Structure 1
Amino acid sequence: MNELTTVKKEVAMSFDDQMRMAEVMAKSGLLPKALDTKEKVFIALQWGVELGLTPMAAATNIAVINGKPTLSADIMHAIVRNNPEYAGAEWKKQDEQAAEVLVKRKNANMTETFRGYYDIEMAKRANLLSKDNWRAYPARMLKHRALSFALRDAFPDVLAGLYSPDDLSGDNQPAQNQKQYQSYEMAEKTEPEQEATLEPLGAEPCTNQVPEKEKSPEDFYREGTANLLATAAKLGEILPESIHNHYAKKINELKLIKNPEKRFFDTKELVELLQKEVEHLEATQKPQNEIF
Structure 2
Amino acid sequence: MTVQTIAPRAAAPAQAVPGGALSLSHMSPHEAWLFCESLAATPLLPDAYRKQPASVLWAMEYGRALGLDVVTTITTIHVIKGKPTQSADLMLGRARSAGHRVRIKSDREQCIVRIQRADDPDDESVVEWTLDDAVTAGLCTLQDGRPYSRDDKNRPQPWERFPRAMLRARAIAEAVRIACPEVLHGAIYTPEELGAVVDQEGQPVHVVERTDAPQMTTATVVQSTPNTPPQQERRDYLAEVVAAVDVEERAAIMAAARESGAPDHYMTALDNIRQAHEAETVEAVRELYKALEANGENAEQLARIAHIGSTKPAAKAPEQATPPSPEAAAVEAENALRLAASNANLPNLDDAFERAYGLPIDQAPAAQLDAFRQQIEAAAAKGGQQ
TM-score norm. by structure 2 comes to 0.43
CA distance in 2, matches of 1:101, 1:13: 39
Q: Which residue of 2 aligns with 1:173?
A: 214
- Superposed CA deviations along residues 199-234 of structure 1, whole A, max 9, x for unmatched, are xxxxxxxxxx999x9xxxxxxxxxxxxxxxxxxxxx
> What is the CA deviation profile of residues 9-50 of structure 1, one whole-angstrom value per residue up to 9, with x for unaligned ones?
995543333222211101222211221221011111112112
Cα gap change, 1:14 to 1:116, in 2 (>3 Å): farther
Residue equivalent to 1:40: 55
Q: Percentage identity across aligned positions?
A: 30
> Residues 80 and 191 of structure 2 are in contact (CA less than 8 Å); yes or no, is this contact kept in structure 1?
yes
Assess, with a 3 A threshold, how the Cα gap between structure 1 residues 22 and 169 changes in structure 2: closer, same or farther. same
Aligned equivalent of 1:25, options 20, 35, 39: 39
Report the count of equivalent residues.
Answer: 189
Partner amino acid, structure 2, of 1:89? V
Shift of 1:194: 5.3
Q: Tell me which stretches of 4 or more aligned residues in structure 1 moved more than 6 Å.
A: 3-10
Q: Give the equivalent residue in structure 2 for 1:269.
A: none
Quick one: distance in 1 between partners of 2:23 and 2:222? 29
Counterpart of 1:157 in 2: which secondary structure? Answer: helix
Contact 1:176 1:189 survives alignment (8 Å): no
Counterpart among 170, 177, 184 of residue 159 in structure 1: 184
Q: Which amino acid aligns with 1:192?
A: P
How far does the alpha carbon of each residue in 1:109-142 deviate from its partner, in whole angstroms, 9 at most, with x for none?
6543222222212211222111511001112111
Query: Are 1:149 and 1:176, in contact at CA under 8 Å, matched by a contact in 2?
Result: no
Unmatched segments (≥5 aa) in structure 2: 1-16, 141-148, 151-156, 197-211, 234-258, 264-386
Tell me the equivalent position of 1:66: 81
Counterpart position of 1:15: 29
**Distance in 2 between residues matched to 1:7 and 1:176, nearest whole Å:** 38
Superposed displacement of residue 72, structure 1: 1.2
Q: State which structure, 1 or 2, has the greater radius of gyration over its C-alpha atoms.
A: 2
Query: SS of the residue aligned with 1:19?
Result: helix
RMSD across aligned positions (CA): 3.5
Answer whether contact 1:104 1:111 (CA < 8 A) is retained.
yes
Relative distance call for 1:180 and 1:6 in structure 2 (3 A) is farther
Shift of 1:5: 9.0
Q: Which residue of 1 aligns with 2:231?
A: 193
Q: How does 1:55-134 map to 2 (within 5 A)?
A: 55-83=70-98, 86-91=99-104, 93-107=105-119, 110-129=121-140, 130-131=149-150, 132-134=157-159
Report the counterpart of residue 67 of structure 2 in structure 1: 52
Q: 1:66 to 1:136 in 2, by over 3 A?
A: same
1:180 deviates by 5.5
Q: Tell me which amino acid in the other structure corresponds to 1:43.
A: W
Partner of 1:206: none
TM-score (norm 1): 0.55
- On the 8 A contact 2:85/2:190 being kept in 1, the answer is yes
Distance across 2 between alignment mates of 1:8 and 1:156 = 27
With CA pairs under 8 Å and 6+ residues apart, which has the higher RCO, 1 or 2? 1
Which digits, 9 at most, give the CA deviation of each residue in 1:149-190, with x for residues without a partner?
A: 111222222211211123223873352626363xxxx54666
Q: State the distance in 1 between where 2:86 and 2:127 align.
A: 17
Correspondence for 1:140? 165
